């Protein structure tokens, strides 16, 4: 057994096909970051002008502050939730445990739409309260709305990393602490929390990155963030340098967060395997279970019940008015075609990257290809799309074509497909491929006849995940879609910016249902399969 692990770690000769295609994929991935840097270098005047402007600094601070507040909110929600579900005798914890993961299925712009139509001016709540004489509600726009909406729909990222950590806690350490006479609070603060810190950090940084990159929710909630400013200056002005420079600022912030995230994960590897002899005894809540249930209920009400209720309400109203289904056919077709092509292209592009990363880790070029493939993970979708627009305008025929949109999707979601393919490839013993080589087949034939068939499930699962994520994607879709091309996401967006909630309801519901499918796979029994969790993180 030791021998076979040794072989797996060996560095062998990288197949030329994988290197050639891997470098091609890497080259495409590097277009946005390289473009941004080159562009900034060309128009140094604008750069210094924009950077010096007070408004730029303000935007950056607001984006960072929002990101920090949302992260704090998400942790403040996820930590007690996870603890209640995993470590206490909360009634109905199994069902609740599945429900609290569901807000992840609601794209942020759909979440914002739901909140605005429910709690905004002239929203459902106000209409309901009007007879009671309430004619004004606290404003949903700006800070409070952005923090709450993004927090409610992103806390599951923290929960996802936190729950395995809570399950893995060694009960003996807690018992030891109690035997020293420490109370529960001290034990929690000094013994449990330090063990959970890596998981909180890792999940929290994901939330921070998501918030920085988010465009839909902040735009709908009229929160002036970098993404919103970039989008507005891109749409408004003829000189798009300002948009490019702001994109560079956002990219720098996002990269910092990515570096922190990678670094936090690297540190975690050591304590990932923690053998606990038995499951910890669940803590008896006693009379505290009612406030606990109320808390969990509130989170589920905001994150799950409200989206379902509000979208359902608008759907029924829209159906009654005959407005709900108008033009939906084109949007569904548009989404399916774009997402289908994106899934296909991404899965194909991920293969050489994954082959190099799994089989030829030692190779310097493999490393370079792998790093380049993370562009879509590190850079917000808006920035990637912006760069592709600028580059393709100069290249001519690609601009305003469906292929540019597909390329954007592929670039953004390549890391997901690579992660899934990597895991699948990692499960194929190297001797299998060597045997095929030894039987006279060149490397590319071995990939086609042995590697791909054996990894097909993982590759297909990665493609499916890209498909579903693509359906929900908003900013790149807005920027890269050919004029007149409609998808479910653009339809939701278009209707909600004009507050035509009845028109937005049906596509929004379809999107939410589609995103729930992979989440059902993520229910507790399945989350133990690490590769599934990793997709979400990728």
Partner 1 sequence: MTRPPNLGAEPAKAVAANALRRSFDGVEAVRDLTLTVPEGALLALLGPSGCGKTTSLRMIAGFERPDGGTLSIFDRLVAGPRQFLPPDQRGVGMVFQDYALFPHMNVRKNVGYGLARRADREALIEEALALTGLTALAERSVHELSGGEQQRVALARALAPQPRLLLLDEPFSNLDLALRARVRAEVRSIVKRSGATAILVTHDQEEALSMADLVAFMWDGRIEQLGTPDEVYLYPSTLHAASFIGDANVLNLEARGGEVRSPFGVHEAPAEASSVAVVLRPEDLQIMPGGIPGTVVRREYYGHDQVLGILLHDGTEVRARVGPHERLTEAGPIAVGLRREPLVFARD
Q: Which is nearer to partner 1, 121 or 438 (CB)?
A: 438
Closest distance between partner 1 and the C-beta of residue 359, in Å? 12
Q: Which of 92, 291, 438, 482 binds partner 1 (CB under 8 A)?
A: 438
Confirm or reject binding of residue 361 to partner 1 (CB under 8 A).
no
Looking at beta carbons only, is 276 or 449 nearer to partner 1?
449
Window 143 to 172, contacts with partner 1 (CB under 8 A): none
Least Cβ distance, residue 424 to partner 1 (angstroms): 13
- Residue 296 C-beta: closest distance to partner 1, Å: 45
Q: Would you call 156 exposed, middle or buried from its count of C-beta atoms within 10 A (0-12, 13-18, 19+)?
A: buried
Exactly one of 24, 57, 301, 435 binds partner 1 (CB under 8 A); that residue is: 435
- Choose among 341, 344, 342, 358: nearest CA to 451: 358
What residues from 276 to 335 belong to the interface with partner 1 (CB under 8 A)? none
- For the chain, helix, strand, coil in percent to 5 are 80, 0, 20
- Of 461 and 489, CB closest to partner 1: 461
> For partner 1, which stretch binds (CB under 8 A), given 223-231, 250-258, 403-411, 424-432?
424-432
Q: Near partner 1 by CB under 8 A, which window of 224-232, 427-435, 460-468, 494-502?
A: 427-435
Alpha carbons 396 and 498: distance in angstroms, whole number: 33
Contacts of 398 (CB under 8 A, 6+ apart): 392, 404, 407
Between residues 222 and 437, which has the closer beta carbon with respect to partner 1?
437
Interface pattern 73-102 for partner 1 (x via CB under 8 A)? ------------------------------
In the range 340-359, which residues lie near partner 1 by CB under 8 A?
Answer: none
For residues 13 to 52, the per-residue mask of contacts with partner 1, x marking binding by CB under 8 A and - elsewhere, is x---------------------------------------
β-bridge partners, 283: 88
Q: Does 441 bind partner 1 (CB under 8 A)?
A: yes
Which of 132, 279, 364, 439 touches partner 1 (CB under 8 A)? 439
Least distance CB 15 / partner 1 (angstroms): 9
Residues with Cβ within 8 Å of 236's Cβ and at least 6 positions away in sequence, in order, are none
Pick from 49, 170, 323, 434 the residue near partner 1 by CB under 8 A.
434
Total binding residues for partner 1 by CB under 8 A? 26
Q: By CB under 8 A, is residue 427 in contact with partner 1?
A: no
- In this structure, what are the phi and psi dihedrals at residue 88, rounded to the nearest 5 degrees? -120, 175
Among 102, 191, 243, 436, binds partner 1 (CB under 8 A): 436
**Phi, psi dihedral angles at 283 (to 5 degrees):** -80, 135
Q: Which is nearer to partner 1, 267 or 362 (CB)?
A: 362
In what helix (H) or strand (E) does residue 199 lie, and over which residues does it extend?
A: helix 193-213
Nearest to 29 by CA among 331, 379, 497, 343: 379
**Which of the stretches 177-185, 382-390, 398-406, 430-438 binds partner 1 when contact is defined by CB under 8 A?**
430-438
Q: What are the start-end ranges of the E strands in 71-175?
A: none
Stretch that binds partner 1, among 29-37, 41-49, 244-252, 426-434 (CB under 8 A): 426-434
**Residue 438: CB minimum distance to partner 1, A:** 4
Among the listed residues 8, 12, 23, 497, the single contact to partner 1 using CB under 8 A:
12
Q: Which is nearer to partner 1, 3 or 364 (CB)?
A: 3
> b vs e for 253-281, b when ≥16 Cβ sit within 10 Å of the residue's Cβ?
bbeebbebbeebbeebeeeeeeeeeeebe
First to last CA, the chain: 31
Backbone angles phi, psi at 32, to 5 degrees: -60, -55
CB of 450 to partner 1, least distance (A): 6
Q: What φ, ψ does residue 301 adopt, rounded to 5°?
A: -60, -45
- Between 443 and 472, how does the x/- string for binding to partner 1 read (CB under 8 A)? x-x---xx--xx------------------
Do residues 99 and 299 lie in contact, with contact meaning Cβ atoms separated by under 8 Å? no
Shortest CB 89 distance to partner 1, Å: 44
Q: Are 342 and 472 in contact (CB under 8 A)?
A: no
CB of 446 to partner 1, least distance (A): 8
Alpha-carbon span 127 to 137, nearest angstrom: 11
> What are the C-alpha distances in Å from 344 to residues 397, 421, 537?
22, 13, 21
3-state secondary structure of 400: coil
| Number of neighbours of residue 73 by Cβ within 10 angstroms | 20
Give the interface segment with partner 1, choosing from 299-307, 373-381, 418-426, 440-448 (CB under 8 A): 440-448
DSSP of 243-304:
HHHHHHHHHHHHHHHHHHHHHHHHHHGGGS----SSPPPPBP-GGGHHHHHHHHHHHHIIII
C-alpha span between 480 and 334 (Å, rounded): 13
Q: By CB under 8 A, name the one of 128, 395, 432, 448 that touches partner 1.
A: 432
Instruction: For residue 437, state whether it binds partner 1 (rule: CB under 8 A).
Output: yes
Fill in the DSSP letter of residue 88: B
Strand partners, 110: none
Residues near partner 1 (CB under 8 A) are 2-4, 7, 10-13, 429, 431-432, 434-443, 445, 449-450, 453-454
């Amino acid at each position: 057994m030791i021998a076979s692990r040794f072989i797996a770690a060996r560095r062998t000769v990288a197949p030329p096909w994988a290197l050639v295609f891997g470098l091609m994929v890497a080259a495409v991935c590097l277009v946005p970051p390289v473009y941004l840097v080159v562009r900034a270098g060309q128009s140094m005047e604008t750069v210094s002008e924009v950077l010096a402007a007070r408004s730029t600094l303000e935007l950056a601070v607001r984006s960072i502050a929002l990101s920090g507040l949302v992260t704090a909110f998400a942790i403040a929600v996820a930590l007690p939730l996870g603890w209640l579900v995993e470590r206490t005798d909360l009634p109905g914890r199994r069902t609740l445990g599945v429900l609290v993961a569901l807000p992840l299925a609601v794209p942020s712009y759909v979440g914002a739409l739901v909140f605005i139509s429910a709690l905004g001016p002239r929203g459902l709540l106000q209409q309901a309260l009007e007879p009671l004489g309430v004619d004004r509600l606290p404003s949903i726009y700006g800070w409070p709305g952005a923090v709450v909406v993004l927090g409610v729909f992103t806390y599951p990222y923290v929960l996802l990393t936190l729950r395995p950590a809570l399950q893995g806690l060694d009960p003996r350490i807690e018992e030891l602490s109690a035997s020293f006479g420490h109370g529960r609070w001290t034990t929690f603060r000094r013994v449990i929390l330090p063990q959970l810190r890596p998981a909180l950090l890792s999940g929290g940084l994901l939330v921070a990155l998501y918030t920085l990159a988010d465009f839909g929710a902040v735009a709908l909630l009229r929160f002036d963030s970098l993404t919103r400013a970039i989008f507005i200056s891109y749409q408004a002005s003829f000189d798009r340098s300002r948009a490019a420079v702001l994109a560079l600022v956002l990219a720098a912030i996002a990269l910092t967060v990515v570096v922190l995230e990678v670094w936090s994960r690297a540190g975690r590897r050591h304590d990932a395997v923690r053998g606990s002899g038995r499951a910890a005894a669940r803590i008896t809540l006693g009379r505290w279970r009612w406030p606990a249930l109320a808390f969990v209920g509130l989170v589920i009400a905001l994150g799950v019940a409200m989206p379902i209720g509000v979208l359902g309400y608008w759907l029924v109203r829209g159906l009654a008015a005959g407005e709900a289904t108008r033009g939906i056919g084109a949007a569904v077709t548009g989404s399916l075609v774009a997402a289908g092509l994106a899934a296909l292209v991404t899965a194909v592009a991920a293969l050489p990257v994954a082959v190099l990363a799994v089989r030829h880790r030692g190779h310097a070029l493999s490393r370079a290809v792998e790093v380049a493939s993370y562009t879509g993970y590190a850079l917000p979708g808006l920035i990637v799309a912006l760069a592709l627009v600028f580059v393709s305008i100069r290249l001519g025929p690609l601009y305003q074509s469906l292929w540019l949109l597909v390329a954007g999707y592929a670039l953004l979601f390549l890391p997901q497909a690579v992660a899934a393919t990597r895991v699948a490839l990692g499960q194929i013993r190297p001797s299998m491929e060597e045997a095929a080589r030894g039987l006279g087949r060149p490397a590319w034939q071995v990939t086609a006849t042995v590697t791909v068939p054996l990894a097909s499930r993982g590759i297909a699962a990665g493609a499916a995940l890209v498909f579903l994520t693509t359906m929900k994607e908003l900013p790149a879709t807005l920027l890269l879609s050919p004029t007149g091309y409609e998808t479910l996401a653009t339809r939701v967006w278009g209707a909600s910016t004009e507050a035509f909630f009845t028109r937005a309801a049906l596509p929004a519901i379809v999107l939410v249902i589609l995103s729930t499918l992979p989440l059902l796979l993520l229910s507790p029994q399945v989350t133990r399969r690490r590769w599934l969790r990793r997709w979400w993180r990728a």
